[in-house]
Amino acid sequence: MALISMAVYCTEENKKDETLYKTLLSLYDTVDFDKHRLMLSVNAKTDTTVQTLQHFGDIIDKVIVNGSNIGTAKAINKVWRLAEELEPCIKMDDDVLIHYAGWIDEMEEVLRRDPSIGIVGLKRKDCIENVNHPDPYYRSTLMQLPHKPGERWVIVEEAAHVMGTCQMYSPALLDKIGYLYQPKLYGWDDVLACARSRAAGFKNVFLPHIDIDHIDEGKTPYQGWKERHAWEDIQLINKLMDGYKDGTISYYYEAK
């Protein structure tokens, strides 16, 4: 059983209600909700958002309504506090389509086969990580998971950074690193989490064969704000990344 967490931020300006509806429909088609749970943490909503959440009420276990936009990491952390013991936690954006039934079960199988893996991610088509990339940070490695006779063969792609569009975190990793952290409201939580995972001795991998699509076209003023907002903190992000790597900054973060 896994806990799917989604931070929702829908406004008239960013027009995310359409992507939220399509994302939830994608989950309805590909997830067995007799086994897995879905919880939403809402940073902003419209009348359409409310209607969408009502429409998908049968698959939503809980909706947390935040009084303001508290950011992605804090919104997700509110859900993760409700995780059961040994329950993997999924961080998922509200603008992605997954075209592969049983994807959560395959992510769980990765963690079962190799407990040294901390984060399993689904790979967007615009990710640049690959086995031939000239930059070592973006160069990935194909890895065959441990196998017993009768099991299917599973290949994953180990990378330094597994983009946060859809990530599963192992309970063992969360015991070591705590909760998600980002300096402001948007950006870098996935980058920092991957760096913290590696600092804690875990591996990060993609399951690249699972087909997904990022469906936010990024044509609203909100997209420009997100990019400016995130890059304002690049010096701090680099400092944190270096600190996690050399041990001068703790990779554990307790959400407040």
Res 80: pLDDT: 98
Q: Are 18 and 105 in contact (CB under 8 A)?
A: no
Q: How confident is the model at residue 225 (pLDDT cuts 50, 70, 90)?
A: confident
Q: How confident is the model at residue 221 (pLDDT cuts 50, 70, 90)?
A: confident
Question: 179-214 in b/e burial notation, b at 16+ Cβ within 10 A?
Answer: bbbbbebbbbbbbbbbbbbbbbebbbbbbbebebeb
For the chain, the residue count is: 256
pLDDT in tens, 227-247: 787 788 899 999 999 999 999
Give residue limits of the domains in the chain.
Answer: 3-246
Rg (CA), the chain: 18
DSSP 180: -
Q: What does the block give as tokens for 79?
A: 């859900």
Cβ-Cβ contacts under 8 Å for 217 (sequence gap 6 or more): none
Res 119: pLDDT: 98
Rounded mean pLDDT of the chain? 95
Q: Number of helices and strands (H, E) in the chain?
A: 8, 11
Any idea which residue has 């997830």 for tokens? 31
Domain 3-246 has CATH 3.90.1150.10: no
Res 105: pLDDT: 98
Any idea which residue has 């599963």 for tokens? 168
* Alpha helices (runs of H) in the chain, residue ranges in sequence order: 17-30, 47-55, 72-80, 103-113, 171-177, 189-199, 221-231, 234-246
pLDDT in tens, 115-174: 999 999 999 999 999 999 999 999 999 999 999 999 999 999 999 999 999 999 999 999
Backbone angles phi, psi at 174, to 5 degrees: -65, -30
Res 164: pLDDT: 95
